Amino acid sequence: MKRVLITGAAGFLGSHLCDRFIKEGYHVIGMDNLITGDLKNIEHLFKLEHFEFYHHDVSKFVHVPGHLDYILHFASPASPIDYLKIPIQTLKVGSLGTHNLLGLAKAKNARMLIASTSEVYGDPTVHPQTEDYWGNVNPVGPRGVYDEAKRFQEAMTMAYHTFHGLETRIIRIFNTYGPRMRLNDGRVLPTFIGQALRGEDLTAFGDGTQTRSFCYVDDLVEGIYRLLLSDYAYPVNIGNPDEITIREFAEEILKLTGANQQVIFKPLPVDDPKQRRPDITKAKELLGWEPKVSRAEGLKRTYEYFRSLSERDLRPKDFDHYNK
Ligand code: UDP
């Protein structure tokens, strides 16, 4: 039986990956330090014979007994407000954590896939973004802790590939959404849906003309799975090229939820990228992959999930738990 280690297993993407690999017949070892992850996302897996969980911070030495075929490194805070609250942890998990896991992959002769990001392109001057664009990142801005950790992560992974001959895969993930996102993580979709459900106005930042391109989680997981099993070691964009302004996006959420509120405007955060859309030519050619779930369908499924949360879960929370 093939064995896979998934870091960030209790998070949004990690938990969906655990589900997918269980479904494919793997033995899944999940790892998370639960700073931003939530055990609720994987509690349904604990009863399974072929799922194990380690409560561990991958920035510290990682030990896993037995053989491993694959390591998927998905542990990281992933929201701009997280970067402000836990900047050092964000840097460490992308840098020290990646180094520890590459060492583990080398010791186990496992293939390593890292979750990189469209943030490596920063506020892009090339549109749509192709993998050969080097990016426009402010290293000392509020997003620098995430962007630079991910850029370091790519460089470190490539060095293990070229110097040690390790089998590695690099996926650059664009904005992704779906069930199990944290309602209070500050990202645009859970924020808007939470506001709609609580009867509050929707807060578009800036004038709302900045764009993003949103990919439904099931499509992303399929892309990750295909890339892992491919033989391509260089970065591949995975995302949905269907681009929309944030203002239009807010209006779509109001329509979907039937809420009566308005869109109001708040100051634009520092270094907020003005536009973002993946060029997915490479993923199409190499992996035969393209997104299948439309935004209308994906938003409907995601809204159903948030609607099923209890009243208590819909209240905004503070971030004191970060300091525990
Ligand atoms: N945004 C917004 N209102 C919010 C939260 C986010 O208008 O309440 C905007 C944000 O400024 C950015 C876009 O939505 O332009 C996507 O933000 P998110 O934090 O989801 O991810 P990003 O793509 O910026 O990393």
Give, for all 324 residues of the chain, the pLDDT tens digit: 999 999 999 999 999 999 999 999 999 999 999 999 999 999 999 999 999 999 999 999 999 999 999 999 999 999 999 999 999 999 999 999 999 999 999 999 999 999 999 999 999 999 999 999 999 999 999 999 999 999 999 999 999 999 999 999 999 999 999 999 999 889 999 999 999 999 999 999 999 999 999 999 999 999 999 999 999 999 999 999 999 999 999 999 999 999 899 999 999 999 999 999 999 999 999 999 999 999 999 999 999 999 998 776 777 665 444 443
Q: What is the pTM of this model?
A: 0.95
Beta strands of 41-186 (E only): which ranges? Answer: 51-55, 70-73, 111-117, 168-173, 176-177
Tokens of 320: 């004191």
Distance 104 CA to ligand 1 centre (A): 35
Nearest CA to ligand 1 atom 24: 272
Distance 115 CA to ligand 1 centre (A): 20
Distance 176 CA to ligand 1 centre (A): 12
Distance 319 CA to ligand 1 centre (A): 19
Residue 318 contacts by C-beta under 8 Å, 6 or more apart in sequence? none
Nearest CA to ligand 1 atom 5: 188
Q: CA torsion sign, 240 to 119 to 212 to 130?
A: negative
Give residues (CB < 6 A) around ligand 1. 79-80, 175, 186-188, 191, 203-205, 210, 212, 246, 269, 272
Distances (CA, A) of 239 to 118, 191, 216, 282, 286: 9, 21, 9, 12, 15
Tokens of 65: 């007994």
User: Could you check whether the bond before residue 128 is cis, i.e. omega within 30 degrees of 0?
Assistant: yes
Catalytic residue numbers read 146
Residue 271 DSSP class: T
- Whether the Cβ atoms of residue 101 and residue 62 lie closer than 8 Å to each other: yes
Mutate to test the pocket of ligand 1, among 187, 200, 211, 275 (most ligand atoms within 8 A of CB): 187
Residue 46 contacts by C-beta under 8 Å, 6 or more apart in sequence? 53
CATH code for residues 3-175+215-238 = 3.40.50.720
* Strand-pair category, 70-73 with 111-117: parallel
Tokens 């391509």 — which residue?
A: 232
